[in-house]
Chain A
Amino acid sequence: MKTVRMFAFLALLVVLVMTMTACVAPATTTTAPAAGAEVAATEAAPAADAQAPVKKDKYLIGMSQANKGEPWRQAMNDQIAAAAAAHPEFEVVFADAAQNNAKQVADVENFIQQGIDLLIISPNEAAPLTDVVAKAYDKGIPVIVLDRKVNGDKYTMWIGADNQLIGQKAGEYIATWCKDQGHTPCNVIEIRGLEGATPAKERGDGFRAGIAGNPDVTIIASQNADWLREKAIPVSQAMFQANPVVDVVYAHNDPMGEAAIISAENAKIDLSKIAFVGIDALPTPDGGIKSVMDGKLTVTYVYPTGGAQAIDWAAKILEAGEKPPATVVLETEEVTKDNAAELYQKYGGK
């Protein structure tokens, strides 16, 4: 009887999986439908960037994401999908590695197997992904690397933002703000992102370089909250408790900045006296631009995902045969109450 029960359970499981694969839209599954004629064409292509493009009517693009669970990366995927919608000849398939390097290597191998025409990848970590990216590149598949980097130079181009520059701009804003407000000294508490991820280090270093212009600005406390709003609430609460005079909260990303606002409200601190700085400025309902519009965060900085740019360059590479620059550094934008509404529209916020 136990065996019968087990088989019944397994059968139910198989039926469930089949129903789900049938129902889920192709763009979000890791298994792409048959590539068909394009497979032959890709294997015949030489391993060079500049080549007379063989104009096809359908291109298969594989997007390997490091961790879809992070809102910023979900936004990257959404922006790629939105940009690809304007190119009916592009079909983009997404794979998610959920922070697992080995899975991401398997994802890319899978894409190569399926005969993709171009690979977009945001690698979880540089060293583990370098080899498989080089393999794709050597096979003649153009590779666009987004945000995080791989080692070596076996890829077509890298698109990303400059965290050091963003941190510096935030620092310069605060240096000016403190001077305008006449705070001497100007007390800053810093809520950092995950230590060990280069963005946290760069945003921190850049900020310190930016505030150097105003000697009254001092960072009186600095704690790590792993980019998470829920972690940043008790962390910022303790910082407010230990430091009665706080003029500026510098959070390495918007969720942590929002957490500091919640803590300040709970501690009955006058919010209007404090400058809350965030980074990321996602155009989502829970993102930084909306927060600035609602008068919560004082300022935030756009940390562009590069998703739309990746599709633009994919079109140029595949259809116009252009040889792209090796590095494209994306600009950031400062989001304040003055321009928040306009930027929300610009980045496609609903």
Chain B
Amino acid sequence: MGQTTVVQPTQESSRLSKFWIFILRFQSYFGLIAILVLSAMLSPVRNGHNIFLDPNNLLNIVRFASENGIIAIGMTLVILIGGIDLSVGAVLALSAVGAASFMMRNGLGTLPTIFLVLSLGSLCGLTNGLIITRFSIQAFIVTLAMLTIARGIASLWSGGYAIPLAFGDAPGVAPASFKMLFAGSFTVGGVDIPVQIFYFIGVGLIAGMFLKRTAFGRHVYAVGGNETASRLSGVNVNRVKTIVFTISGLLAGLAALLHAALVNQGSHIDGNGYELNAIAAVVIGGTSLAGGVGTIVGSMVGALILSILDNILGLRNIPSEYQMILKGVLIVAAVLLQRQRR
């Protein structure tokens, strides 16, 4: 499994099939356009002003997609090699507790905190990767174990309550630069753009280029497509896998920095279910859970679609249960459509 085969259509159905194939190839983009149009139509209108299309609202949609999007980018890489990472939510919580603890209890500055938190996330990912490859245990099991271990450590570290983050320049509070750096906004042409968006797009660009332009990227697709063949072709499969899981942990750490700055606390119960949201974004974006097929941009679009869903239901004051149902339907629809491509 791995190659997209384009079926040669017969004479009569050729035009229709070509159109359908075109849609399927860019399914996530068309999905995005469809949900944007639907939301704009369903949006409440006030004084002739469409609330959904209000620039602030659209920026908010991207802002709230950023955390999940960054985690989803890491998850894409993991799923591409045929694995899964169930620990990202817990690693986020652990890293957020770490960030709050470093700044509030240990009096560390912004830069040391960033370095330590990203290292912590990477370490969790590295541990996952090493155990999976050295002991040949399935990713599902190892990352599930890391999930519970990380939550336990987070709970002990925080002392059982969420560590509040107060920002300022006085001693005993976290540096204001941290808040600005991870939850502030950047004014461009009179519009306040939340910084989370820059991290989201930045990570997406780097990861995308990484995958498309480097040998390592090709190895990732190869390992996911056919592990045995890639190993026989000389690819160091264990190294590829370990690096991918480390990146997943690193990105969970980055998302934790954004998270802590947004919610003003480091809590050991945060990030619950984040791994499932990330997987949903990845699947809706067109990546196959079997591995070897998928794109970074697709997952970013998937994260946006989920955020739009959250947003329009909130604007319309619809109970969150409907959002849960719709999310599930979207996931299955995305997988079904994806299967048609083969």
Contact = CB atoms under 8 A, between A and B. Distances in A.
Given A221-B317, A286-B162, A286-B164, A241 B51 contact: yes
B60 to A, nearest CB: 6
B314 interface: yes
A242 B315 contact: yes
Given A229-B263, A230-B259, A262-B262, A242 B314 contact: yes
Contacts of B161: 71, 74-75, 282, 284-287
Contacts of A226: 320
A110 to B, nearest CB: 20
B64 interface: yes
A344 B53 CA distance: 45
Contact of A69 (B269, B307, B317): B269
Contacts of B267: 229-230, 286
B314 A235 contact: yes
Contacts of B164: 285-286, 290
Given A69-B269, A286-B161, A241 B310 contact: no
Contact of A241 (B163, B270, B315, B320): B315
Given A74-B160, A223-B320, A286 B265 contact: yes
A179 to B, nearest CB: 26
B127 interface: no
State which size class the interface on B falls in. Answer: 35 or more
A239 B311 CA distance: 9
B46 interface: yes
Nearest to A6: B135
Contacts of A78: 160
A233 interface: yes
A234 interface: yes
Interface string A287-305: 1001000000000000000
B9 interface: no
The residue among B51, B161, B271, B311 with the most chain A CB atoms within 10 A of its own CB is B161
B51 A230 contact: no
B315 A230 contact: no
A7 interface: no
Interface in B80-133: none
B44 interface: yes
Interface string A253-267: 001001100100001
A78 B160 CA distance: 10
A271 B269 CA distance: 28
A234 B310 contact: yes
B263 A262 contact: yes
A9 to B, nearest CB: 7
Interface string B227-250: 000000000000000000000000
Contacts of B259: 230
Given A69-B269, A222-B317, A286-B161, A242 B262 contact: no
A234 B262 CA distance: 11
A5 interface: yes
Contact of B44 (A9, A70, A242): A242
B263 A223 contact: no
B60 A242 contact: no
Nearest to A73: B160
Interface in B35-80: 44, 46, 51, 54, 56-57, 60, 64
A259 B44 CA distance: 24
Nearest to B65: A234
B317 A230 contact: no
A71 B44 contact: no
A147 B165 CA distance: 30
Contact of A242 (B51, B155, B270): B51
B177 interface: no
B226 interface: no
B51 A71 contact: no
B163 A259 contact: no
B196 to A, nearest CB: 11
Interface of B: 44, 46, 51, 54, 56-57, 60, 64, 135, 155, 160-164, 259, 262-265, 267-272, 307, 310-311, 314-317, 319-321
25 contacts: A5-B135, A9-B135, A71-B160, A74-B160, A75-B161, A78-B160, A228-B272, A229-B267, A230-B259, A233-B64, A233-B263, A234-B307, A237-B314, A241-B57, A241-B60, A241-B315, A242-B316, A242-B317, A259-B263, A262-B262, A262-B264, A284-B161, A286-B162, A286-B265, A286-B267
